[in-house]
Amino acid sequence: MMNMRGLYLHIPFCEHKCIYCDFYSIEQTDGIQSFVDNLRKEITMAAETIDEGLPFTSVFLGGGTPSLLTPAQLDDIVNMLHRSLFIAPDVEFTVETNPGTVDIEKLKAYKSIGVNRLSLGVQSFVSDDLEFLTRIHSVEDAERCYHNSRIAGFDNINIDLMFSLPSHNREQWFYNLRRTMELAPDHISAYSLTYEKGTPLHTMLQRNEVKPIDEELDAELYELTIDTLEAVGYSQYEISNYAKDGKECLHNRTYWEYYDYIGLGPSAHSFIEGKRYWNVKNLESYNRKIWGGVMPVAGEEKLTNDQRAEEEIFLGLRTKGVDLEKIKNFYNLDLLHRKTEEISSFSERGFLIIDNGILRLTKSGKAYADWIASELM
Ligand code: SF4
């Protein structure tokens, strides 16, 4: 099996905070240069603590809006990465890109710096949806961005989509899927809208200003996504992710298959040899720590045997299934024995199957993955 190791860089700036977003980012762009200087320092500081033997097989710039970086700023970061860390020659290098922040010149410059995968935050091909989500870009911006990315030479492009908006029904969501398929991206991530605490959308929910669609329709739209995308050659390799042959996101697989990863930048998480640690979730504190010459780590935990087993079950259900024998041997956990009732009940309802010792969600079970996983943990 290929040995993977991921590097995540969190760029915490957005031109505008979307109503549903609970990622750490600030609605401001004038601190980007000093942040880039500090991120470069954090890279050198982290390099002193990292085992040099294993290359980073993926680099992922997320946020926030990493595509707010100028090519010169991105180039500075990339130079520092190559100077300080062992980056694999065939690294998968992704930048999350907001279609409202790039033109063809910037895309070409990103490509020449070494970026070889773009994840475009399109969300919808319906103007009313974009307005509801308070995205800064239009449908035309998204399409232009996609075509410009191809012209700039990107042959690995993801499109992010969001379904189960309050106005969605089967036809509207299928329209979005059809427009996406016409563009034929290499990878599609499709997430159901969630109402996260602390977001303006959650406040709207509490004030009854917005009504979520019901659970059955959400499950129906989810199954429609699977059927539609699989019919045209995308395989679902994680609960919300679909890829053409050979275009699975390596970086995501690092998380889902339980490999080590390092996260730099405010709020970024790292996972090394069973230890998880995370950076401060505040740009000012982050800057102060780096200026003071200390790593901006806010906390850490060493996962117990049970926690690791639970994570593997959770991640396994979302991806290739849970290898019951491995869980038993590795974590001394006989899941079939421990959760007999739950497993039989979900199997009778058609949500779970056991196939050659692998416990898997069925298509209808995938719509309830989080609930099923929590019952099994
Ligand atoms: S652009 Fe992305 S990171 Fe920024 S607020 Fe919107 S969803 Fe969140």
For atom 5 of ligand 1, the residue with the nearest CA is 17
For atom 8 of ligand 1, the residue with the nearest CA is 21
For atom 2 of ligand 1, the residue with the nearest CA is 64
Residue whose tokens read 């109503």: 19
Q: Are 317 and 359 in contact (CB under 8 A)?
A: yes
Residue to mutate, 22, 23, 102, 283, ligand 1, most ligand atoms under 8 Å from C-beta? 23
118, with CB counted inside 10 A (0-12, 13-18, 19+), is buried
Q: Is the dihedral of CA 147, 153, 155, 157 positive or negative?
A: negative
> How far is 102 from 148, CA to CA, in rounded Å?
9
| Strand order across the 358-361 sheet | 322-323, 358-361, 352-355
Report the atom number in ligand 1 closest to the C-alpha of 21.
8
63 in ligand 1 pocket by Cβ < 6 Å?
yes
Cα 238 → chain centroid: 11
Report the atom number in ligand 1 closest to the C-alpha of 20.
7
Report the atom number in ligand 1 closest to the C-alpha of 16.
5
Other C-beta atoms closer than 10 Å to the C-beta of 7 total 26
Structural domain spans, the chain: 5-256, 305-376
* Residue 52: predicted pLDDT: 79
Per DSSP, the three-state class of 242 is: strand
Residue type for position 105:
E
236 in ligand 1 pocket by Cβ < 6 Å?
no
For atom 7 of ligand 1, the residue with the nearest CA is 21
For atom 6 of ligand 1, the residue with the nearest CA is 18
5-256: CATH architecture: Alpha-Beta Barrel (3.20)
Residue to mutate, 25, 130, 133, ligand 1, most ligand atoms under 8 Å from C-beta? 25
The angle that helices 305-318 and 369-376 make with each other, rounded to 10 degrees, is 150
**CATH number of 305-376: 3.10.20.600, 1.10.10.920, 2.102.10.10, 3.40.47.10?**
1.10.10.920
Per DSSP, the three-state class of 197 is: coil
> How far is 16 from 43, CA to CA, in rounded Å?
27
> How far is 111 from 329, CA to CA, in rounded Å?
45
Q: Residue 92: CB partners within 8 Å, gap ≥ 6? A: 57, 58, 59, 116, 117, 156, 249, 250, 251
12 in ligand 1 pocket by Cβ < 6 Å?
no
Per DSSP, the three-state class of 373 is: helix
Report mean pLDDT in 10-residue bins for the chain, 377 residues.
Answer: 88 97 94 97 95 91 97 98 96 98 98 98 98 98 98 98 97 97 98 96 98 95 97 96 97 93 98 94 98 97 91 92 93 91 94 94 91 90
Q: Are 87 and 81 in contact (CB under 8 A)?
A: yes
* Residue 2: predicted pLDDT: 67
122 in ligand 1 pocket by Cβ < 6 Å?
no
pLDDT tens, 229-257?
999 999 999 999 999 999 999 999 999 98
* Residue 258: predicted pLDDT: 87
Q: Report how far apart, in Å, the C-alpha atoms of 306 and of each of 233, 274, 330, 331 are.
A: 38, 12, 11, 7
> How far is 86 from 195, CA to CA, in rounded Å?
39
Helix intervals (H) in the chain:
32-47, 71-84, 104-113, 127-133, 139-151, 170-183, 200-206, 215-231, 250-256, 283-291, 305-318, 324-331, 335-338, 340-348, 363-366, 369-376
* Residue 314: predicted pLDDT: 92
Per DSSP, the three-state class of 33 is: helix
Q: Residue 347 C-alpha to ligand 1 middle, in angstroms?
A: 38
CB-based burial, 236-260: b 16+ in 10 Å, e otherwise: bbbbbbbbbeebbbbbbbbbbebbb
Partners of residue 9 on adjacent β-strands: 61, 264
Residue to mutate, 67, 98, 120, 160, ligand 1, most ligand atoms under 8 Å from C-beta? 98
Helix intervals (H) in 158-247:
170-183, 200-206, 215-231
* Residue 341: predicted pLDDT: 92
